[in-house]
Amino acid sequence: MKKTWFGLLCMALILVLGATAAMATPVLKVGTSADFPPFEFQDEKTGEYLGFDIDLINAIGEAVAMDVEIVNTAWDGLIPGLLTGNFDCIISAMTITEDRLKAVDFSDPYFSASQVIVTKLEDTSIRTLEDLVGKQVSVQIGTTGDLEVSEVDGIIVKRFNLAPDAIQEVRNGGVAACVIDLAVAEEISQQYKDIKYGEPITTEEYGIAIRKGNSQLLEKINKGIAEVKASGQYDEIYAKWLKD
């Protein structure tokens, strides 16, 4: 009799544990390069990941009932990390380009962006990409800014792993200019009054990168983006990070 009760108890426990596992919220592992304020960066004191992209992906996760886990990765390791399964998707102010679409799929665009040229405040000679010919120019490696200047013959490209370092090189006098995202230039130029940026030289759109063939996750993320926009959360996040 004791054995019978013990067996029933074990079976009940197995059923409870199985039900609990089935009810567990799925985790969305998200790769980002947390060195690109105001989109993604890490609080120096708390270690917390902050920024427009971070708030957006958390809102998307909530909309599709998934817990978000941020995986901080160097920019040039993001797509390789996605392809090898280190995370499920990438949100990192990543421009949708034809070259990247050969390797990954992208969600619906979630942000319209542009590149600008950052120079010292007193510089009046640089306004266009053509003005950079024969000069040293800093970029963050692998970004749209890197691609843009690399296509112009005669520009001497100086690449940095981190966007703030690329702009700092302008302040240090190591390069004549930096080509970088407008929102980042706006953020950093508020801290440093000895630099300025000009009119946009490109237009582009950011998307969330997903491994090719993962149509189920792609649909979920697109649904999440749509719901976050429809609910007004997107506008709140935008106002928090990207409006003065």
Q: What is the CATH number of domain 115-202?
A: 3.40.190.10
> What pTM did the predictor assign?
0.81
Name the H helices within the chain.
2-23, 52-63, 78-83, 98-101, 144-150, 163-172, 182-191, 215-231, 233-242
How many CB atoms are located within 10 Å of the residue 191 CB? 10
Pick the CATH number of 26-112+205-242 from 3.40.190.10, 3.40.50.2000, 3.40.50.620, 3.40.309.10: 3.40.190.10
Same fold, 26-112+205-242 and 115-202: yes
Indicate the SS3 state at residue 34.
Answer: coil
Of the candidates 112, 82, 62, the one whose C-alpha atom is nearest the C-alpha of residue 221 is 62
- What does the alpha-carbon distance between residue 91 and residue 36 come to, in Å, rounded to a whole number? 11
The dihedral sign for the CA sequence 89, 93, 95, 99 = negative
- What does the alpha-carbon distance between residue 156 and residue 149 come to, in Å, rounded to a whole number? 9
Hey, where are the domains in the chain? 26-112+205-242, 115-202
- What does the alpha-carbon distance between residue 225 and residue 228 come to, in Å, rounded to a whole number? 5
- What are the pLDDT digits (tens) for 40-71? 999 999 999 999 999 999 999 999 999 999 99
Render each residue's pLDDT in the chain as its tens digit; 244 residues.
444 544 444 454 555 455 444 468 899 999 999 999 999 999 999 999 999 999 999 999 999 999 999 999 999 999 999 999 999 999 999 999 999 999 999 999 999 999 999 999 999 999 999 999 999 999 999 999 999 999 999 999 999 999 999 999 999 999 999 999 999 999 999 899 999 999 999 999 999 999 999 999 999 999 999 999 999 999 999 999 997 5
